[in-house]
Structure 1
Amino acid sequence: MTYGFDGKVVIVTGGTSGIGLATAKAFADEGAFVFITGRRQDALDAAVTRIGGKVIGVRGDMGRLEDIDRLYDAVQQKHGHIDVVFANAGGGEFAPLGAITEEHYQTTFDSNVKGVLFTVQKALPLLRDRASIVLNASNVSAAGTPALSVYSATKAAVRSFARTWMMDLKDRHIRVNAVSPGVTETAGLNALFGGGEQAEGTKSYLAGLIPTGRVAQPEEIARTVLFLASDEASFINGIELTVDGGQTQA
């Protein structure tokens, strides 16, 4: 199935690995002009090579407004408009309540909330009417998870953005939706779980809590993002689409 992105201009922040990389590749395979961001130039170059097609990498940290401006300057020079924004960049670390520091709080909120907010706000002059915005939230915002309170709070904020921005942008018929992945096989997840056998053991345990019986692959989340961004989802607006194998419903 194709979703009609041939020739469309698509932004994927945090596009060098995991869900972002898989989604950028899926858009590129559909013929879109894709702009990806990443903090490290070597990872960005490798991602551009892996994605192929009409892709441009722009180095930047989406928690820094000047880096977001540089992204959209690059888009302006090439195309002058945007059809889809997938605000994906972000991350988090474990920190139980008693160990949360100001730095942990600030870094997580800058990356996951400030970055998403200004990625979308600064795209507005370039976004076409009837464009689509997809925000990357997480299923952790729907259930308590030990030592992830700050990260979970940021993802709850992202889910709230989808509701409120839908209303802010209704006169331009720009749809805003959130995708909320569950446990997904990515390098970032493996690092979060300590890598190696420890990470594999944690993922195996978590897979046992998921009705589908396994963790997600990044490509499965990518296909969901493409659906939400496409005209196939033209009457879907302001929702959170949870993609977690049924974990939050169990």
Structure 2
Amino acid sequence: MGKLDGKIALVTGGSTGIGFATAQQFLIEGVEHVFITGRRQQALDDAIKKLNRKNVTAIQSDTSNMNDLDKLYSVIKKEKGHLDILFANAGAAQFIPLDSVTEKDFDDTFNTNVKGVLFTVQKALPIFNDGGSIILNASISSIKASPACSVYSATKAAVRSFARCWTVDLKERKIRVNTISPGPVDTPGFRGAVKSGGEKEEKALVTQLVSAVPMNRLGMPEEIAKAVVFLASDDSSYVTGIELFVDGGAAQI
């Protein structure tokens, strides 16, 4: 018996990193079917090969695009009729100093991390089962300041606020809404973000981030995924509206 037996789940941004690891963990825990999304078809194709299960559907989708979201939920409704679990994981990170932020940087980050999360959840509600679980992926940046991180941090603070508000909005339907906030995690997205400044800057930034973690290491995607399973399952049946930090102690110490 798995913790998620018979459940239908959606993981946005599920082709790599935390999203992929979570889809994998959902399958281990017995989900009936998991849908994953991503912007890049090749990455989705690679994910399907790695997961190697028939009960996975990959749908190319940009969560900040309303037409893409409508198509996504149309497919889920047609194939399975409902959802029990939503992990709104799709997001983007950029490390940009304040004096270098452009309007495009701001719009791109907020469109993906805030607008995308809001409408991913809103458009899921007509097919979302009462008593289901919604998990939003934020970051320790929701409460911690880091250099060149102001726009990203603001988006994650907004995501954390969404969980509080939607817990109230959806309480009559007994839908639990929680936020998971990872610390620095060794994912392709993380490596891509820190590499943007060059090799020397990458090494310095990783060293700086790790030095702030009491456990003195980066997290692994599988460690975040197991925490998401907890929030998705009945193990957390009396847990809603929280921000669960999975960060090696970085946000607390």
Q: Same fold (TM over 0.5)?
A: yes
Partner of residue 41, structure 1: 41
CA distance in 2, matches of 1:66, 1:28: 28
Write out aligned runs for 1:101-250 (5 A). Answer: 101-194=102-195, 198=200, 199-250=202-253
- Does the Cα contact within 8 Å between 2:44 and 2:58 map onto a contact in 1? yes
Letter in 2 for 1:194: K
Task: For residue 126 of structure 2, give the secondary structure of its aligned residue in structure 1.
Answer: coil
Q: Aligned partners of 1:22, 1:204: CA distance in 2, in Å?
A: 24
Report SS of the residue matched to 1:70.
helix
| SS in structure 2 at match of 1:158 | helix
RMSD: 1.4
Which TM-score applies when normalising by structure 1? 0.96
Per the TM alignment, residue 203 of structure 1 is displaced from its structure 2 partner at its CA by 2.3
Are 2:75 and 1:74 aligned?
yes
Q: CA deviation digits over 1:76-123, x for unaligned, max 9?
A: 111101000000001121111111111111100000000000000000
Query: How many angstroms apart in 1 are the aligned matches of 2:187 and 2:213?
Result: 17
How far off is 1:3 after superposition? 4.9
Q: Partners in 1 of 2:61 and 2:122 — Cα distance? A: 17
5+ residue gaps, structure 2: none
Larger displacement relative to structure 2 (120-129 or 25-34): 25-34
Residue 2 of structure 2 contacts residue 28 of structure 2 at CA under 8 Å; is this kept in 1? no
Change (3 A) 1:205 1:92: closer
CA distance in 2, matches of 1:205, 1:102: 28
Mapped partners of 1:4, 1:155: distance in 2: 28
2:95/2:194 contact within 8 Å kept: no
Q: Cα offset for 1:43?
A: 0.6
Shift in CA distance, 98/205, structure 1 to aligned 2, threshold 3 Å: closer
Contact 1:3-1:230 within 8 A present in 2 as well: no
8 Å CA contact retained: 1:134, 1:178: yes
Equivalent pair of 1:25/1:52 in contact (CA under 8 Å):
no
Determine what percentage of the aligned residue pairs are the same residue.
51
Q: Work out the CA distance in 2 between the residues paired with 1:114 and 1:224.
A: 24
Count of equivalent residues? 249
TM-score normalised per structure 2? 0.95
* CA distance in structure 2 between the partners assigned to 1:231 and 1:31 by the alignment: 13
Give, in whole Å, the separation in 2 of the partners of 1:219 and 1:73.
30
Asked if 1:18 corresponds to 2:17, the answer is yes
1:178: how far off? 0.2
Q: CA deviation at 1:52?
A: 2.6
Structure 1: gaps spanning 5 or more residues: none
- Aligned twin of 1:51: 51
Q: Deviations over 1:184-216 (max 9, x none)?
A: 000111111117854355323422221111110
